Amino acid sequence: MIPVIVGISLGLYIVNDSMLNSVNQESKLTITQLMEDGSPIIGNPNAEISIVEFGDYQCTFCYKFHQNTLNSIQSEYIDSGKINYVYRDFPLNGSDSILAAEATYCANEQGNYWQYHNLLFENWAGEKTGWITMSSLAQFAVDLNLNITEFKNCLTTHKYYQKVIDNENYAKKIGINATPSFLIFNNEEVIRIIGAQELGKFQNAIDQLISK
């Protein structure tokens, strides 16, 4: 897929592909809106460039991105402080994907969001195959040495259900319609990448923003 690029000097604008020639004021977003309510930020919080990923824990191409590209982005850009990164939920595959997303926020209560997030993809077993259950999610918490009583209480009461749904609705509002989708941006320009693209696509986008 070719990145969709929209540069507006007065702020960040996200548009649907069908709206490329008619950006309107209702599409205006702020960096705060893009970054809030998802995962904890990793990388340099003051970096000039950010990536927001919209994903689904059952999504095949999200899994492929996690396995093939994310580690390279992490080592080259996140760990070096050049960018920061946020994951936001877009659970297209239904209730199991929602439950998995809820579990990541329960893990976050114990400071293990990203460890749990990574463990989900490491144990990925397909789309709508039944691998995401209360039992399997609890076992992942055990594997991370989380307080299992606290974790189960959080998950069984669906403490973060609405947070996940709010993330999904927000994604739809700004025109996200596939997973994984990425918004790479600074304070002037947004580049949209769709799919499990190779590292080079992300390098090109980041380099373009750095040169601004």
Residue 23: CB atoms within 10 Å:
14
116 residue type, one letter: Y
State which H helix or E strand residue 114 sits in: helix 113-122
Residues of the chain with pLDDT below 70 are 1-30, 211-212
End-to-end CA distance of the chain: 23
- Rounded distance between C-alpha atoms, residue 92 and residue 179, angstroms: 8
Report the CATH number of the 4-210 domain: 3.40.30.10
Question: What pLDDT does 212 receive?
Answer: 59
Q: What pLDDT, in 10s, does the model give residues 124-165?
A: 999 999 999 999 999 999 999 999 999 999 999 999 999 999
Q: What pLDDT, in 10s, does the model give residues 19-29?
A: 323 233 344 56
Q: What angle do CA 2, 165, 121 make, to 5 degrees?
A: 60
- Rounded distance between C-alpha atoms, residue 111 and residue 80, angstroms: 22
